[in-house]
């Protein structure tokens, strides 16, 4: 193979690898389940099995509400963005109130810290805003936002 052929092959390999990596990350995110969220919370917050069992229905309900809200937002278009943001914040507050019933003070502090870290990370990687219309929908990774 000549120099151009090798360069093109390397370029093609890089592009294919990038698409595969993005696809895997996207698929993993879409497959996030309430159980996976609670397992992550269990590890991050050192939850007991009893706490995890009590939190699972809260996370399940929250994720369903968020999914429904995003579906509604897609149907309504960009005009509803501010209203959706307000509704998401309300869902965050409702979920946090419910979760606090089952967490000790240290766990609540850790949860808030994890969320702040995730928010900082998101905003650090979100160059120029959310122009692509994408969202995390199930933004629970460390217990949600």
pTM for the whole structure: 0.62
Domain boundaries, the chain: 34-124+138-145
Q: What was the pLDDT predicted at 123?
A: 61
* Rounded distance between C-alpha atoms, residue 112 and residue 118, angstroms: 10
* Rounded distance between C-alpha atoms, residue 69 and residue 56, angstroms: 20
Q: Which residues of the chain have pLDDT under 70?
A: 1-5, 7-31, 78-79, 123-145
* Rounded distance between C-alpha atoms, residue 76 and residue 69, angstroms: 10
Q: What was the pLDDT predicted at 144?
A: 47
């Amino acid at each position: 193979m000549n120099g151009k052929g090798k360069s093109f092959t390397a370029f093609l390999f890089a592009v294919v690898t990038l698409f595969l990596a993005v696809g895997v990350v996207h698929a993993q995110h879409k497959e996030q389940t309430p159980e996976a969220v609670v397992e992550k919370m269990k590890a991050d917050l050192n939850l007991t099995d009893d706490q995890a069992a009590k939190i699972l229905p809260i996370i399940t309900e929250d994720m369903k509400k968020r999914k429904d809200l995003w579906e509604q937002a897609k149907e309504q278009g960009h005009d509803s963005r501010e209203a959706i943001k307000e509704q998401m914040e309300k869902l965050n507050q409702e979920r946090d109130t419910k979760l606090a019933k089952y967490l000790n003070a240290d766990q609540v502090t850790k949860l808030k810290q994890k969320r702040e870290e995730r928010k900082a990370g998101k905003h650090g990687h979100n160059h120029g805003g959310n122009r692509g219309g994408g969202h995390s929908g199930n933004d629970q990774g460390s217990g949600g936002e």
